[in-house]
Amino acid sequence: MRLLVTGGAGYVGSVCSRVLIEAGHELTVIDNLSTGNREAVAPGARFVQGDVADVAADVLGEESFDGVVHFAARSLVGESVEKPELYWYGNVVETLALLEAMRQTVTPRLVFSSTAATYGEPEVVPIVESAPTRPTNPYGATKLAIDHAIADYCHAHGLAAVSLRYFNVAGAYGGAGENRAIETHLIPIVLQAALGIRPDVKIFGTDFPTDDGTAIRDYIHVADLADAHLLALESAISGRHAVYNLGSGTGYSVREVISTCMDVTGIDIPVQEAPRRAGDPAVLIASSDKAIAELGWKPTRTELPTIVSDAWDFTRTLAEHTSA
Ligand code: UDP
C-alpha cells in the first residue's frame, strides 16, 4: 500500500515505519521534529517536515494514498496535566485537520495510535475494549475525543479505521528505539541510570493499592506493536471503526521493572522514593484477546526481560554513539 505515516520520526512511528517498509509498503513520513529525530526516519521513506495540519492535505493531494498511519501526537501524562492546551491543540485539532484532508482526498484507511489512558482507573483488570472510558488526564481525554471523531467519520463518510490502544510500549527494533531529548518513561530512565547518565531512578508513588505499593503497568514490545499495525491496515473495513487493546496481558510494578533492569544489566541501580505523579492510575493491564482473535495478532516478545534486553542494547549503542 502507499501510506502516509505521521510522526514517523518518533519512537513508535520510527519502529513501525521500518516494519511497514519490510512488509513492502511505500511510505511518506511527515513529522514536525518537535520531539522526534530526523535520523530516526526509516531509510527508504520519503520525508516531509511540518505539522500535520499544515502539510497533510498537500501530501495527500499530490497522489493517491491507500491509507494513513497516524502516530504524531503529544503523549506525556504529566505534561498533559500541566499544559492541557498542548494536548487539545496538538492532538485533537491536528487530527481533525487530518480527518478532513482524508475526507477531501477520499483516502480510505486510517490506523490511529490510541492509548490505555482512554480507560482511566479501571474497575476490572485485564481491561477489555468494552470497559468504561473515563480518562484521568488530558492525554487520555484527547485521545478518546479523537477516537469519537474517527467513529463519526467512519459512520458518516465510510472511513475504514482502526484505533490501537497501546499499553506501555518499550524495547527497540531495527536500530530504532526510545531517544527523546527529555525522557520521562520508566524503562529508558532506569537504563540511563544504569549507565550513569542520570544519578538515580525516582519511584513515583509507593502508596498505590498494589502488593509493593508501586504502580503496575503492562509492557509491550514495540516490534509486537508494529506487527499489529500491519494487521490493522489489512483488516480495516469501510464504515467501521474497530478498537483493539495491545498489551502483553501481564502487569509489572515499578519496583519489578527496576529489578528486571538490574538483572538484565547486571548493574545496581540507585533508587529514590518520590510522591505520585499527577494523573497516574494504579494498575493498567490489557486484555488483548480481541486483537488476537480478530486481527490474528501473535505477540512473540512478551517477556519483560526480552523487552528490557532489547531496550538495553539500544540505549548502550546510543550512549556510545553520543559520547563518540
Ligand atoms: N515512573 C516512575 N519513575 C519514573 C518514570 C515513571 O516511577 O522516572 C512510573 C510512572 O509513575 C508509571 C510507570 O512508571 O507508574 C510507567 O510510567 P511511564 O511514564 O513509563 O508510562 P505511562 O504509564 O505514564 O504511559
Q: pLDDT tens for residues 74-113?
A: 999 989 999 999 999 999 999 999 999 999 999 999 999 9
User: Residue 262 above 90 pLDDT?
Assistant: yes
State the Cα–Cα distance between residues 289 and 291, nearest whole angstrom. 6
Q: Is 166 a catalytic residue?
A: no
Q: What single-letter amino acid sits at 183?
A: E
Query: Position of cell 469519537?
Result: 148
322 pLDDT tier (thresholds 50, 70, 90)? confident
**Beta-carbon count within 10 A of 115 CB:** 26
148 pLDDT tier (thresholds 50, 70, 90)? very high
Q: Which of 204, 220, 248 to mutate to test the pocket of ligand 1 (most atoms within 8 A of CB)?
A: 204
- Calculate the average pLDDT of the chain: 97
Q: pLDDT tens for residues 4-45?
A: 999 999 999 999 999 999 999 999 999 999 999 999 999 999
Q: What single-letter amino acid sits at 53?
A: A
78 Cα nearest atom in ligand 1: 24
* pLDDT for position 324: 63
Q: Are 50 and 32 in contact (CB under 8 A)?
A: yes
Q: Which residues line ligand 1 (CB under 6 A)?
A: 77, 168, 184-186, 189, 201-204, 215, 217, 254, 277, 280
| Predicted TM-score (pTM) of this structure | 0.97
How many A from CA of 6 to the centre of ligand 1? 25
